[in-house]
């Protein structure tokens, strides 16, 4: 195709039929070419002649029907006989309008844009876009993206010779979601996008890895390109390695801390929250005075991330709980104002402190309780780490009941740092939330702990774009993920979804004109996806590329392995000991 020739060139044989009806987003075609109809499937493209010879309105087919009606035969009846009626098929195609193609658009040639500038006129010719026309049309999609903006995801299912290119900027800056049932290829899609991002000089993506499946992406022996960090487990408390990450209790704000240790049903809950707040504020102020931070001491709040001693907090609460008060007449003592009211609160706090599973929070190394530690840790998380700007954070050893607080606190902390950073110094950051349904549930289903995480992530979803902070939500159950967060996503990479409830979530998030596309979600093959949103010009079914380094999430071959591998009794014994110690055994 030369620079001046039209990408869409139709012959008489390509004529499908003519427009018979139009509404705001859909067009109905009265089909005259029954041969073409037999080749037409749901999701195929049709081109409708526009207001000029250089313009076509592009639609995808969402319904193909044939109905039989009665018509008078051309043969004349014999004298006295009734007019004979015969069955005549009526073929109709309904399409959803998605964009406008122009052969010449000002100084540009062969352009496609989302949205229809005008509605199709009745009786306009409609053509099927296939063969060479389809190849040329698919080839122009994404061709206008600059080289440093192109995000190659795979190839179009409709034309395997054309690369499926998305805008990397629009994909990340307006939040995105990767959704798909178990075994649909979701983890491979994540690995592929991380692999593409790693080819940039300074990518900045933090992966919240719930099961440790993305560890191979940080394995240098396999060509890994990421940095891997682990939230400390029980076995890391004595001698933590360099890749272990602690999240000290003093990073939690007041509400996050109380969600873990305060029982709101306790009649003394208001007293317990009040004394906790008062003592934490005083202890943080004491730290600032010791560090010589007079300016910070004038403006800090109880939520400011400032180290304080948990031991001192316990002593102050115990003192409140046992102190007596003098009688008004000065003769003897009476029950103190807080006496006995903090017992259950102190007990719940001590149970958390004694649980080694919470060591990453309540038993950090001494250096983690120093004033300068936080800046060093944030620099490790938001820096490029010598060119490895993709950081994979393994949460697999974090107790499930506190997982929302940990993810929410870390996300809030990173966002707050980005928020307070000088605008001209900010580098865009994306949080990739794997298995999001575990800690970002629907608001009505969330408990007190989960609501704290939801608050942090929903704030990012609503405000993050202004500060260069975005979310990439990954889940196998979109119906269990916060509607607020999903509704803020402008791009969806949806793999196979077989559950009606999950499909309906995607359908509700789509414009009405695209809702018909979601009907193919349960029919997608493994590794196929429906790409929708601002990052692509044309909503498309694509075949994703296979990443060079695959995650540890491959589906096991049950039948083959049952036929060839006996269970390893020694490994079972080692797993039992790991269960008892809450520490993963080292593979032999």
Quote the CA–CA distance of 411 and 280 in Å, as a whole number.
Answer: 22
444 φ/ψ angles, rounded to the nearest 5 degrees: -65, -20
Instruction: Check whether residue 130 and residue 266 sit in a common domain.
Output: no
Distance between start and end Cα atoms, the chain: 60
- pLDDT for 540 equals 85
Instruction: Check whether residue 395 and residue 529 sit in a common domain.
Output: yes
Residue 48: both structure tokens together: 């409708």
Query: Among 345, 376, 399, which residue terminates a domain?
Result: 345
Residue 588 lies in a domain: no
- pLDDT for 491 equals 92
**3-class DSSP state of 393:** strand
Instruction: Check whether residue 536 and residue 406 sit in a common domain.
Output: yes
Quote the CA–CA distance of 69 and 579 in Å, as a whole number.
Answer: 71
Taking a C-beta distance cutoff of 8 angstroms, is the pair 120, 54 a contact?
A: no
Quote the CA–CA distance of 95 and 73 in Å, as a whole number.
Answer: 32
Instruction: Check whether residue 242 and residue 190 sit in a common domain.
Output: yes
Instruction: Check whether residue 28 and residue 109 sit in a common domain.
Output: yes
Instruction: Check whether residue 427 and residue 500 sit in a common domain.
Output: yes
Residue 140: both structure tokens together: 């122009």
Side-chain half-sphere CA neighbours of 343 within 13 A = 6
- How many other CB atoms are found less than 10 A from the CB of residue 325? 12
CATH code of the domain containing 24? 2.40.30
Taking a C-beta distance cutoff of 8 angstroms, is the pair 439, 471 a contact?
A: no
Number of domains making up the chain: 3
Taking a C-beta distance cutoff of 8 angstroms, is the pair 183, 526 a contact?
A: yes
Query: Among 316, 345, 374, which residue terminates a domain?
Result: 345
Instruction: Check whether residue 567 and residue 447 sit in a common domain.
Output: yes
Residue 128 lies in a domain: yes
Could you please report the per-residue DSSP string of 347-372? HHHHHHHH-GGGHHHHS--GGGGSTT
Instruction: Check whether residue 444 and residue 517 sit in a common domain.
Output: yes
Residue with token string 């180290």? 307
- pLDDT for 75 equals 64
- pLDDT for 105 equals 78
Residue 154 lies in a domain: no
Report CA-CA distances (Å) from 333 to 8, 110, 156, 339, 340. Answer: 95, 91, 82, 12, 15
Per-residue pLDDT tens digits of the chain, which is 588 residues long: 444 578 888 888 889 999 999 887 889 999 988 888 888 877 788 999 988 888 899 998 888 888 776 666 666 666 656 666 666 678 889 988 888 888 887 788 888 888 777 788 899 999 998 888 888 888 888 777 888 889 999 988 888 888 888 999 999 988 999 999 988 889 999 999 999 999 998 999 999 999 889 999 998 888 889 999 988 887 788 788 888 899 999 999 898 888 888 888 888 899 899 999 999 999 999 999 999 999 999 999 999 999 999 999 999 999 988 887 766 666 666 777 888 888 999 999 999 888 888 888 898 988 999 999 999 999 989 987 766 889 999 998 888 888 888 898 899 999 999 999 999 999 999 999 999 998 888 887 777 778 878 888 999 999 999 999 999 999 999 999 999 999 999 999 999 998 888 888 888 887 766 767 777 888 888 899 998 888 888 888 899 999 999 898 767 788 888 999 899 899 889 889 888 876 765 544
CATH code of the domain containing 500? 3.40.50.300
DSSP character at residue 195: H
- pLDDT for 398 equals 84
- pLDDT for 87 equals 63
Instruction: Check whether residue 472 and residue 386 sit in a common domain.
Output: yes
Cα-Cα-Cα-Cα dihedral of 343, 347, 350, 356, to 10°?
A: -170
Residue 7 lies in a domain: no
Instruction: Check whether residue 243 and residue 385 sit in a common domain.
Output: yes
- pLDDT for 2 equals 47
Report CA-CA distances (Å) from 187 to 220, 535, 550. Answer: 20, 20, 8
Residue 158 lies in a domain: no
Instruction: Check whether residue 125 and residue 101 sit in a common domain.
Output: yes
Could you please report the per-residue DSSP string of 405-444? HHHHHHHHHHHHHHHHS-GGG---EEEEETTGGGTSB-GG
Which residues, at least 6 apart from 272, have a Cβ–Cβ distance to it below 8 Å? Answer: 262, 266, 341, 342, 344, 345
Residue 356 lies in a domain: no
Report CA-CA distances (Å) from 10 to 105, 284, 417, 445. Answer: 19, 74, 56, 54
Residue 360 lies in a domain: no
Residue 341 lies in a domain: yes
Enter the pTM of the model: 0.84
How many angstroms from the chain centroid is the CA of residue 131?
A: 35
Instruction: Check whether residue 370 and residue 435 sit in a common domain.
Output: yes
Q: Which helix (H) or strand (E) holds 325?
A: strand 324-326
Domain extent for 371: 163-247+365-581
């Amino acid at each position: 195709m030369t620079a001046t020739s039209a990408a869409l060139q139709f012959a008489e044989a390509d004529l499908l039929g003519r427009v018979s009806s139009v509404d705001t987003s859909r067009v109905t075609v009265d089909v005259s070419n029954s041969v073409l109809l037999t080749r037409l499937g749901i999701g195929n493209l049709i081109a409708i002649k526009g207001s000029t010879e250089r313009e076509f309105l592009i639609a995808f087919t969402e319904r193909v029907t044939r109905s039989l009606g009665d018509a008078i035969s051309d043969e004349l009846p014999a004298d006295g006989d009734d007019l004979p009626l015969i069955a005549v098929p009526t073929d109709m195609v309904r399409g959803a309008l998605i964009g406008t193609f122009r052969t010449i658009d000002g100084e540009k040639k062969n352009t496609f844009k989302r949205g229809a500038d005008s509605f199709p006129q009745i009786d306009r010719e409609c053509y099927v876009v296939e063969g060479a026309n389809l190849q040329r049309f698919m080839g122009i999609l994404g061709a206008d993206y600059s080289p440093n903006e192109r995000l190659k995801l795979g190839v179009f299912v409709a034309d395997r010779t054309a690369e499926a290119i998305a805008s990397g900027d629009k994909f990340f800056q307006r939040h995105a979601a990767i959704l798909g049932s178990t075994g649909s290829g979701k983890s491979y899609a994540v690995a592929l996008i991380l692999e593409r991002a790693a080819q940039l000089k300074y990518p900045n993506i933090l992966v919240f890895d719930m099961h440790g499946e993305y560890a191979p992406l940080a394995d240098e022996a396999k060509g890994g390109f990421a940095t891997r960090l682990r939230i400390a487990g029980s076995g890391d408390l004595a001698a933590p390695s360099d890749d272990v990450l602690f999240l000290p209790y003093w990073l939690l704000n007041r509400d996050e801390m109380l969600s873990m240790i305060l029982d709101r049903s306790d009649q003394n809950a208001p007293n317990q929250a009040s004394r906790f707040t008062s003592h934490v504020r005083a202890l943080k102020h004491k730290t600032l005075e010791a560090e010589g931070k007079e300016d910070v001491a004038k403006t800090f709040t109880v939520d400011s991330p400032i180290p304080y001693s948990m031991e001192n907090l316990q002593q102050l609460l115990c003192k409140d709980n046992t102190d007596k008060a003098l009688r008004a007449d000065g003769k003897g003592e009476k029950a103190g104002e807080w006496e006995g009211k903090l017992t259950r609160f102190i007990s719940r706090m001590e149970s958390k402190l004694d649980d080694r599973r919470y060591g990453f929070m309540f038993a950090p190394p001494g250096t983690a309780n120093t004033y300068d530690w936080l800046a060093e840790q944030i620099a490790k998380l938001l820096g490029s780490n010598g060119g490895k700007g993709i950081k994979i954070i393994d949460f697999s050893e974090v107790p499930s009941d506190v997982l929302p607080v940990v993810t929410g606190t870390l996300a809030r902390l990173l966002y707050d740092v980005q928020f307070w950073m000088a605008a001209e110094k900010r580098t865009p950051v994306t949080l990739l939330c794997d298995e999001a349904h575990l800690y970002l549930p629907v608001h009505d289903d969330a408990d007190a702990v989960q609501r704290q995480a939801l608050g942090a992530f929903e704030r990012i979803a609503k405000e993050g774009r202004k500060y260069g902070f975005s979310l990439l939500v990954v889940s196998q159950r979109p119906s269990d993920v916060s509607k607020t967060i999903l509704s803020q996503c402008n791009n969806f990479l949806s793999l196979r979804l077989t559950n009606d409830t999950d499909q309906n979530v995607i359908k509700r998030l789509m414009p009405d004109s695209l809702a018909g596309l979601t009907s193919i979600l349960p029919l997608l093959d493994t590794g196929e996806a429906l790409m929708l949103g601002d990052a692509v010009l044309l909503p498309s079914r694509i075949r994703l590329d296979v990443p060079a380094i695959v995650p540890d999430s491959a589906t096991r071959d049950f039948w083959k392995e049952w036929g060839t591998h006996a269970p390893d009794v020694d490994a079972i014994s080692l797993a039992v000991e790991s269960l008892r110690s809450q520490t993963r055994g080292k593979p032999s």
